Amino acid sequence: MPRQLTRRLLGLAAGATLTAGLLAAAAPTALAAPTTARHRPAPTADVSFAGTVALSNCSGSLVRVPSATDDDKALVLTNGHCLETGMPGPGEVIVDQPSNRRFSLLSADGQDSVGTLTASTVEYSTMTDTDVTLYQVDQTYGEIRQQYGIAALALSTAHPTAGTDIAVVSGYWQQTYSCAIDGFVPELHEADWVWKDSVRYTEPCHVIGGTSGSPVVDTATGQVVAINNTTNEDGARCTLNNPCEVDADGTVTVHQGIGYAEETYLLATCIQGSTINLDSACPSPNPDPRPGPTSAPAKRSPQREAPGPGAHGPGARPVDIRGCRALPPPVTTHGWGVPGAKPLRRGARGPRPRKTHETTPSALSADRGHPGRVAPTGFEPAPLP
């Protein structure tokens, strides 16, 4: 059944399919040339791969807030669209969901995995206003540091600043992209999702599929200020893999080839130790309906049941979320389309619809990876639950 959208796009009620014609009637479009980098940043902090992780389909990082102690269970941060059970829909917030997802913890040079972390719960996941998934793992910060010699990255509690030199550190690709924060976007629209106060990169950060969930590190402080999540690939307007910027007056701007990230300072203020606290003071979307700054009333994710006929389980035909129409079977059927991923177990739940077909590389739909990727020595692929 098509998911009913719970937001308005440029003053029009949007359906599951966002077409260029529909949006053209909504607001004027400014076709912008890609921004130009002011300079090549010179990092002043020790930005390495220490604290980053590789998922089966995305990148991520081991993160910590100021209130956390060594005895608190550690947290791993990645994108909402990297969630192993499928992308949260508009208005959907998932909290306290069991998980046994595994993460390869990288060495400082990114060439090896020093160990594997295992999630116990999905503390928080949403694609409403932001694009984040926060996992709690079964080891404490102190145990991880003692066993692997790796400390978590600090989550900044302050709003980032335009012009700041940043590094986008991808654990999946073991690659770092260096650029600066070009500015901030009031609303970033992509297909059915709306993200607020998004970070726009300067041109050097040409992020690719697999970099989704990478920490965006302020090179002056070494703190995480945002999480990498998308880029406009083809110059299209507000479609999958082609986000568009929407100003307060409804003007739509497209920057082809430019990447974006979602700020994390608001999420940091909602974490106490290693637990998400979505009380009235927390500005992040909440699964319990309440007045607040979210773009739509959020809802608690229901318990997921075993797939039946027509569900997205093994052998099921995937569904295009843009129009809720059946697609041909994908070219690759292993996991999320990442080379080397293990096939789904019989009876296991398959992923919900991908944002694009898995043969198309995408920073947003990082779940397909890139052909030819070779995992570094010592890596153990993180299987889907």
**CATH number among 2.40.10, 1.20.5, 1.10.1330, 1.10.10, domain 52-154:** 2.40.10
pLDDT value for 45:
63
Residue 312 tokens read as: 């997205």
User: Is 230:356 a contact under the CB 8 Å cutoff?
Assistant: no
Q: How far is CA 303 from CA 94, 210, 276, 300, 343, in A?
A: 10, 28, 19, 9, 23
With bands split at pLDDT 50, 70 and 90, how would you rate the model's confidence at 253? Answer: very high
| CA of residue 29 relative to chain centroid, distance | 26
Buried b (16+ CB within 10 A) or exposed e, 64-90: bbeebeeebbbbbbbbbbbbbbbbbbb
Q: How far is CA 197 from CA 87, 159, 226, in A?
A: 21, 10, 11
- What are the residue boundaries of the structural domains of the chain, listed by start? 52-154, 164-264
- 36, pLDDT greater than 70: no
Residue 348 tokens read as: 């296991």
164-264 falls under which CATH superfamily? Answer: Trypsin-like serine proteases (2.40.10.10)
pLDDT over 90, % of the chain: 60
Q: Which residues pair with 63 in a beta bridge?
A: 75, 153
With bands split at pLDDT 50, 70 and 90, how would you rate the model's confidence at 286? Answer: confident
Same fold, 52-154 and 164-264: yes
Tell me which H or E stretch contains 286.
Answer: none
User: Is 274:68 a contact under the CB 8 Å cutoff?
Assistant: yes
> Which of these ranges, 64-73, 241-250, 352-361, has the smallest mean pLDDT?
352-361
Residues 6+ apart with CB under 8 A from 350: 307, 312, 313, 314, 316, 344
